[in-house]
Amino acid sequence: MRYFMKKKLLLLIILLLTVLFGCSKTGDEYLSEAKALYQNKEYNKALPFYNKACEKENLKACMFLADIYKKGTIVSADNSKSLEYYKKSFLLADIYCQKNSKDACKTLSYLYENGLGVNIDLVKADEASSKACDLGDAASCYYQAKINADNITAFISYTDKACQNNLAYACLVLGNTYLTGFNESMTEVKKDIEKGILYIKKACEMNNEICVNLADIYISGDDVEQDYNTAVIYYETALKYYKKLCTEKNDDNPACRTIDIIKSKYLAM
């Protein structure tokens, strides 16, 4: 009898623990549900899930709440609530950045730079951004490149990191820097046509819309030997990209307008 009582008590304890902890969702799970509701424009239903996710220390959810209360998008603007969520976001970003989360370091840099939930501190913003770059965040690497544009060695290093982390635009910028001998801030670098073309080819591979730039280079013959056949290949690659964005002819659609521009270059050939 005592054995069965003990077994029954053990089952009750297991059941209680399951109720208390087994059904508890993670912050990521709450955030996923919130996003699905938000995308379906069920904003009133989404908001409690964002709150739950933030309570579970999900940084993205806390930042979302801070932003919407600041801007007054799907809720009435409330600076007090916005500040509360920015402060929590800052604490979480600081903790997670120390644990080497590149997204958290990028967010921490943004909060320091703009004085959201913390006093403005551009030195700490720079440190957090640099760490995010080292952890593989391409946007942070490109940000570092821009703020170090007067130092051509640092500019090239950071832009290359952004490019290697698959930011196509960074590859294009670095390619143009080597082709022209100057970066966007007119800081001089030794021209290197071969390097320039390689970087722009890499950009074209990652983002086919950039292939237009490569085609233009081969059609002009300014930096490389003029090659119409190669130019056509890159124009056609870009056209395939834009045609996916222009399913119906519409002059207000930028992709459709770009198709017309590319085709006019074909005719000019």
* Residue ranges per structural domain of the chain: 210-269
| Per-residue model confidence as pLDDT tens digits over 124-134 | 999 999 999 99
> Any idea what DSSP says for residue 227?
-
> Any idea what DSSP says for residue 208?
G
The tokens of 117 are what?
């939930």
> Any idea what DSSP says for residue 19?
I
The pLDDT score that the predictor gives to residue 136 is 97
Residue 50, SS3?
Answer: helix
Higher pLDDT, 13 or 44: 44
DSSP H or E stretch at residue 22: none
Q: Above 70 in pLDDT, residue 267?
A: no
| Per-residue model confidence as pLDDT tens digits over 100-120 | 999 999 999 999 999 999 999
- Amino acid identity of 80? S
Other C-beta atoms closer than 10 Å to the C-beta of 48 total 13
| Per-residue model confidence as pLDDT tens digits over 132-149 | 999 999 999 999 999 999
| Per-residue model confidence as pLDDT tens digits over 238-256 | 999 999 999 887 778 999 9
Max Cα-Cα span within the chain: 96
Per DSSP, the residues of 103-162 read HHHHHHHHHHHHTSSS---HHHHHHHHHHHHHTT-HHHHHHHHHHTTTSHHHHHHHHHHH
Contact 239, 233 (CB under 8 A): no
> Any idea what DSSP says for residue 189?
-
Output 146-151 pairs: Cβ under 8 A, ≥24 positions apart. Answer: 149/183, 149/184, 149/185, 149/187, 150/185, 150/187, 151/187
The pLDDT score that the predictor gives to residue 6 is 53
The pLDDT score that the predictor gives to residue 19 is 43
| CA distance linking residue 244 with residue 233, whole number of Å | 17
- What angle, 0 to 180 degrees and rounded to 10, lies between the N-to-C axes of helices 102-114 and 122-134? 160
| Per-residue model confidence as pLDDT tens digits over 170-227 | 999 999 999 999 999 999 999 999 999 999 999 999 999 999 999 999 999 888 999 9
Beta-bridge partners for 188: 182
| CA distance linking residue 79 with residue 84, whole number of Å | 9
| Per-residue model confidence as pLDDT tens digits over 26-39 | 999 999 999 999 99
- Amino acid identity of 129? S
Contact 185, 149 (CB under 8 A): yes
Other C-beta atoms closer than 10 Å to the C-beta of 181 total 13
